[in-house]
Structure formats: structure tokens, C-alpha cells
Amino acid sequence: MHTHDVDEELVAAAAEVARTRCRGDNHTMAAAARATDGRIVTGVNAYHFTGGPCAELVVVGTAAAQGAYDLRTIVAVGDRDRGVVPPCGRCRQALLDYFPALEVVVPAPGGGLRAGAGTTPSRAGK
């Protein structure tokens, strides 16, 4: 994995959404992504026992609805001060399929955060 400096503004945006918008059991994760044009897009998960969308996938759809079709970096933050949470397997695969060069902010071994491409499984069908 090739790592880069962590986009602290992006992490702060996701943390703020998690703190202010995640309430109860239906919305427990927030995500923020930086588009290549510099804007930040945020979203929260929509939990449902049938498998509602994770916050990262909500952000992908929200970004597209706002005309941001190319994302550079994404991060997910849990409610109740859980901090940065790595994407689940489904999200890792979807993010790779949509944005092969996307950098994902994740907890670093030993503490802190790291950002890098290559945190995803292999491309489906490739």
C-alpha cells in the first residue's frame, strides 16, 4: 500500500457529521469524500436489517447527485466517538470498482491514521 498524508479536513468533516447527524440505531456511521475538484461530500449510513447502504456508498451516490463523479479520498467515522473505521468488504469492493485509484483513510497499525490506495480487494472480473 502506498500511503500519503492524511486529509485532516476530510476526517474532521466526517467526524462532525458523525457527531451531529448520527442519532439512534438507524444512522451510526458517517463518511466524507474529497472530489478531485476539491469539494467535500458527506453522508450517513441508513441501517436496516435487510442490509441498508453503508455511509461510504451513500457518499458515492450523493457525490454523483452533486455532479462529482471522480473521488480522490474517502473516510468513514463511527458515532459515539468511535473514530475512523475501515470500510467493510462490500464497500471496499464497490469503491475499487468505481474509483480504482481512490485513497482510503484507515487506522494505522500502532495508532494514528494512514491514507492510501490499495486497501481494497482485487477488481471483480479482472
pLDDT, tens digit only, all 126 positions of the chain: 445 689 999 999 999 999 999 999 999 999 999 999 999 999 999 999 998 899 999 999 999 999 999 999 999 999 999 999 999 999 999 999 999 999 999 999 999 999 988 554 555 444
Please state, in angstroms and rounded to a whole number, the distance separating the CA atoms of residues 115 and 103.
6
Amino acid 5: pLDDT: 86
- What are the respective helix, strand and coil percentages of the chain, to the nearest 5? 30, 30, 45
Instruction: Give the span between the Cα atoms of 16 and 14, in whole angstroms.
Output: 5
Going by C-alpha positions, the residue among 75, 77, 70 that lies closest to residue 100 is 70
Q: Which amino acid is at 95?
A: L
Q: Answer yes or no: are the C-beta atoms of 89 and 110 closer than 8 Å.
A: no
pTM attached to this predicted model: 0.90
What per-residue confidence (pLDDT) applies to 1?
44
Residue 41: beta bridge partners? 33
Q: What is the pLDDT of residue 121?
A: 53
pLDDT at 119: 55
Residues marked active site are found at: 56
Closest CA to 94 of 33, 20, 13, 11: 33
